[in-house]
Amino acid sequence: MSRPTIAAVAQAAGVSVASVSRVLNGLPATEEMTERVQRVVEQLGYVPDSRARSLKVGRTFQLTLAVADVGNPVYVTMMRAVEEVVSAAGYRLVVTATGADVVDEVALVRGMARGYADGLLISPIRVDEDLVKSIRECEVPVVVAGNVPARAGVDTVRANSPKGMLLAVDHLVATGRTNIAFLNGPADTVPGTARAKGFADALRKHDLEPAAVAEATDFTFAAGRAAAPDLLAAAGVASVNSSGVRGSASAAPFDAVICANDLLAVGLMHELAAAELRVPEDVAVVGMDDSELAEQSFPPLTSVNLGSAERGRRAAELLLARIEDNDRRPRRIVVQPSLSVRRSAP
Amino acid sequence: MSRPTIAAVAQAAGVSVASVSRVLNGLPATEEMTERVQRVVEQLGYVPDSRARSLKVGRTFQLTLAVADVGNPVYVTMMRAVEEVVSAAGYRLVVTATGADVVDEVALVRGMARGYADGLLISPIRVDEDLVKSIRECEVPVVVAGNVPARAGVDTVRANSPKGMLLAVDHLVATGRTNIAFLNGPADTVPGTARAKGFADALRKHDLEPAAVAEATDFTFAAGRAAAPDLLAAAGVASVNSSGVRGSASAAPFDAVICANDLLAVGLMHELAAAELRVPEDVAVVGMDDSELAEQSFPPLTSVNLGSAERGRRAAELLLARIEDNDRRPRRIVVQPSLSVRRSAP
DNA sequence: GTCGGGCTTGTAAACGATTACAAGAACGAT
DNA sequence: ATCGTTCTTGTAATCGTTTACAAGCCCGAC
């Protein structure tokens, strides 16, 4: 026997389907009607079909969260925050991994027109004209956690990574590190460019030259390890190119490294250890994102907290608000960073 | 203007809605019809509404994956594997965190009757009669990644953690460690009991006594740190209680620890470092799950690979198969473990 | 020429809910 | 007693698809 429908309940209770629906949705009904319907519902184990309900009311009560990589702990943090807000509002969360590829993202945004979700929260790491266009034209509300041009016409919640970068450099300089290297992720990504610029600006503010810059192929642990030799090589060149009077007692070609995210930082630390460089004695390491991994790594990683949890929370709130009222003009929220100092750069 | 419906397409193309539907679903149609419909579809940007489609065909093409904690890297591994299988089959994945609470799990399983997903893949860490009952009665196919009684009548894919435990103990003994402690997660969970028993059996097989056993309050990093003092204290007692002739040169109360998962192991290693115990020189540490964290931790963690990726993959395949044909009798698959040897226990 | 069979296409009935509208009941005011 | 108002309940339309069934057409075989 199949699941009972609302008609079955109505028949068993000797009332109309409309009455059953009303009782179930808490619309006014007499005491007796309510009681009667509820007994039958209980008895038959009736559960309304959300497919049918979706079709009629035009809402699925599902929201989609699209991130590049579910293995990146920063997205775990964000996902937790989003899930909390979203489920409190009675929505389910569909989590999708887009990979780093912008065409997948575009396909996803276009696909939202199918109506399986009431809104989309996306955190794109590469942005092109196609993506902006598809976001602007998307049938359902979209909120971007990240940086996207204003002409996309959507709510955005982004981090202030230049400011975060400055916090990191300030801290390193204040603790006597002036020979600072930078391990970036792919420079053709949105966070990659933002962080590169932030690093350059922050160093300029302190009248410093970069000790070395390298670019990992991805924002992952493996890419961080793989890029470490590049960084060391780049430093070799840089130290020759600049001045010869670096008086560091250690053999390290730089005394600090800032990494574009925590995974890269942890990957790099492994390679530093392999090269017999001690963290933080020889090289201080600073990550970005302040994810759970920063706390778990050894030594615990000093990391720039770019407010992922808050970004997730606020993005989710914006999305819910926009679903209620799509006529509000787009808001662009910037979340301020802070620095979590741990042992890798005390 | 709102989204075009199939009726709008039919009208614009001068054909019937049935024809449009047929073309879209690849049913036989003449060359001309196909071409004509597709042009109009293109032109109007028509996208079929999956809500309506779901209602009619009784499928949502969504699958739910329920895990206890999205922050646990073992679930990330599993999720990746599941996602791969599922999306290749044209399904979307809804990821839900149940927390460690069994009542949430029961509510989730019951809620599946609403029909927002075509199947459920659940990895419960606590199991009670209610959960078994709700699984057995669930309207949609369920596959359990983990251990659940056969009377639940569902496909299961589980790890062989006793065997895994034995691999760990064998390795430790083979490398000269005989004073082995065990850091478990909560003993009232399914993996907790299985691992406790596995540990006891494995030691018995080698005629060894446990050097210490402690139980963390949760399968998390923080709980691992918090439980470390208990473990050290327990070892103190244990070493007095057994024999005084342990000839270890180090001050460590045990020369190896097996942890019920990687997060606990990493948490413990932090505390061991704080207690000035070196890993692996003074204490070898073995984790379980062989998640990404094992590779990322420092020193890299020797870990029992319980086949999370394979479990995820096979569970997803079983679920898809059962959706196609719900009359197959339940299968119970056991995935065999292996040991990934890294520096924490070389 | 007619008939039957195979294709293609259209009409209309589902799917299972919500909800606009109408009808009936109850009740107080005149 | 009658009328109007308010409240409750039922009937039926609707959401946007898919699909069973029927009808129309073309073509070859008798």
Concatenate the DSSP letters of all residues of B169-222 into one string.
HHHHHHTT---EEEEES-TTSHHHHHHHHHHHHHHHHTT---SEEEE-SSSSHH
Q: Which residue of B has its CA nearest to A73?
A: B71
**Residue B260: closest CA among B189, B210, B311:** B189
Residues of B in contact with A92 (CB under 8 A): 94, 96, 116
pLDDT of residue A82 exceeding 80, the answer is yes
Are B111 and B186 in a shared domain? no
User: Which tokens is A125 given?
Assistant: 């790491």
Q: Which residue of A has its CA nearest to B293?
A: A293
CA A90 to chain centre: 22
* Strand nucleotide closest to residue B53 (CA to C1'): D17
Are B184 and B66 in a shared domain? no
Give yes or no for a contact between A15 and A22, defined as CB atoms under 8 angstroms apart: no
Angstroms from A116 CA to nearest CA on chain B: 6
pLDDT of residue B247 exceeding 70, the answer is no
> Which pLDDT band holds residue A31 (cuts at 50, 70, 90)?
confident
Q: What number is the average pLDDT over the span A175-202? A: 95
Angstroms from B113 CA to nearest CA on chain A: 7
How far is Cα B304 from Cα B308, in angstroms, rounded to an integer?
11
Q: How far is the CA of A53 from the C1' of D23 (A)?
A: 35
- Residue among B49, B55, B115 minimizing CB distance to A114: B49
User: Which tokens is A107 given?
Assistant: 């396909």
**What is the pLDDT at residue A49?**
95
Is residue B156 helix, strand or coil? strand
**What is the pLDDT at residue A131?**
94
Question: What's the sign of the alpha-carbon dihedral A123, A127, A131, A136?
Answer: positive
Q: What number is the average pLDDT over the span A180-194? A: 95
Q: What number is the average pLDDT over the span B130-137? A: 93
How far is Cα A224 from Cα A112, in angstroms, rounded to an integer?
34
Give yes or no for a contact between A253 and A212, defined as CB atoms under 8 angstroms apart: yes
Q: How far is the CA of A28 from the C1' of C19 (A)?
A: 14
In this structure, the number of other CB atoms found within 10 A of the CB of residue A177 comes to 21
pLDDT of residue A244 exceeding 80, the answer is no
Q: For chains A and B, count residue pairs whose Cβ atoms are closer than 8 Å.
A: 123
Which amino acid belongs to residue A77?
A: T
A345 within domain boundaries: no
**What is the pLDDT at residue A99?**
81
Cβ neighbours of residue B47 closer than 8 Å, sequence gap 6 or more: A110, A111, A113, A114, B3
A267 within domain boundaries: yes
Q: Which residue of B has its CA nearest to A266?
A: B296
How far is Cα A167 from Cα A174, in angstroms, rounded to an integer?
10
User: Could you read off the pLDDT of B291-320 as tens digits, one per residue?
Assistant: 999 999 999 999 999 999 999 999 999 999
**What is the pLDDT at residue B71?**
85
Are B183 and B71 in a shared domain? no
Question: What's the sign of the alpha-carbon dihedral B225, B227, B233, B234?
Answer: negative
Burial A32-41 (b: 16+ CB within 10 A, else e): ebbebbeebb
φ and ψ at residue B336, rounded to 5 degrees: -85, 145
Are A295 and A328 in a shared domain? no
In this structure, the number of other CB atoms found within 10 A of the CB of residue B112 comes to 23
Residue-level length of chain A: 346
Cβ neighbours of residue A247 closer than 8 Å, sequence gap 6 or more: none
Closest CA to the C1' of C9: that residue is: B19
Q: Which residue of A has its CA nearest to B99?
A: A80
**What is the pLDDT at residue B251?**
63
User: Whole domain around residue A212: which residue ranges?
Assistant: 161-305
User: Could you read off the pLDDT of B157-176 as tens digits, one per residue?
Assistant: 999 999 999 999 999 999 99
Which amino acid belongs to residue A119?
A: G
B344 within domain boundaries: no
Residues of B in contact with A269 (CB under 8 A): 298
Residues of A in contact with B79 (CB under 8 A): 70
B240 within domain boundaries: yes
Give yes or no for a contact between A48 and A6, defined as CB atoms under 8 angstroms apart: yes
User: Could you read off the pLDDT of B35-83 as tens digits, one per residue?
Assistant: 999 999 999 999 999 999 999 999 999 999 999 988 899 999 999 999 9
Are B67 and B192 in a shared domain? no
> Which pLDDT band holds residue B246 (cuts at 50, 70, 90)?
very low
Give yes or no for a contact between A60 and B51, defined as CB atoms under 8 angstroms apart: yes
Q: How far is the CA of B142 from the C1' of D7 (A)?
A: 46
How far is Cα A117 from Cα B116, in angstroms, rounded to an integer?
11
Cis (ω within 30 of 0) for the bond into A210? no
Q: How far is the CA of A55 from the C1' of C9 (A)?
A: 28
Min mean pLDDT across A250-264, A290-304, B202-216, B316-330 is at A250-264
Are A231 and A182 in a shared domain? yes
What is the number of domains present in chain A?
3
Are B297 and B165 in a shared domain? yes
Residues of B in contact with A76 (CB under 8 A): 70-71, 76
Which amino acid belongs to residue B212?
A: A
Most confident by average pLDDT, A272-281, B7-16, B300-309: B300-309
Stated pTM of the model:
0.90
B118 within domain boundaries: yes
* Strand nucleotide closest to residue A21 (CA to C1'): C18
In this structure, the number of other CB atoms found within 10 A of the CB of residue B236 comes to 12
Are B142 and B194 in a shared domain? no
Cβ neighbours of residue B143 closer than 8 Å, sequence gap 6 or more: B119, B120, B121, B122, B154, B155, B156, B157, B315, B316, B318, B319, B322
pLDDT of residue A250 exceeding 70, the answer is no
Q: B27: domain CATH number?
A: 1.10.260.40
For strands B338-340 and B302-305, give the pairing.
Answer: antiparallel
Are A132 and A154 in a shared domain? yes
φ and ψ at residue A142, rounded to 5 degrees: -125, 140
Are B202 and B170 in a shared domain? yes
Are A142 and A176 in a shared domain? no
Give yes or no for a contact between A282 and A250, defined as CB atoms under 8 angstroms apart: yes
How far is Cα A78 from Cα A316, in angstroms, rounded to an integer?
10
Q: Which run of H or of E encompasses B65?
A: strand B62-67
* Strand nucleotide closest to residue B56 (CA to C1'): C15
pLDDT of residue B233 exceeding 80, the answer is yes
How far is Cα B317 from Cα B86, in angstroms, rounded to an integer?
8
For strands A302-305 and A338-340, give the pairing.
Answer: antiparallel
Dihedral Cα B259, B262, B263, B267, nearest 10 deg? 60
Q: B79: domain CATH number?
A: 3.40.50.2300
Inter-chain touch A113–B3, beta carbons under 8 Å: yes
> Which pLDDT band holds residue B253 (cuts at 50, 70, 90)?
confident
Are A34 and A134 in a shared domain? no
**What is the pLDDT at residue A238?**
41
Inter-chain touch B60–A292, beta carbons under 8 Å: no
A343 within domain boundaries: no
A42 within domain boundaries: yes
A92 within domain boundaries: yes
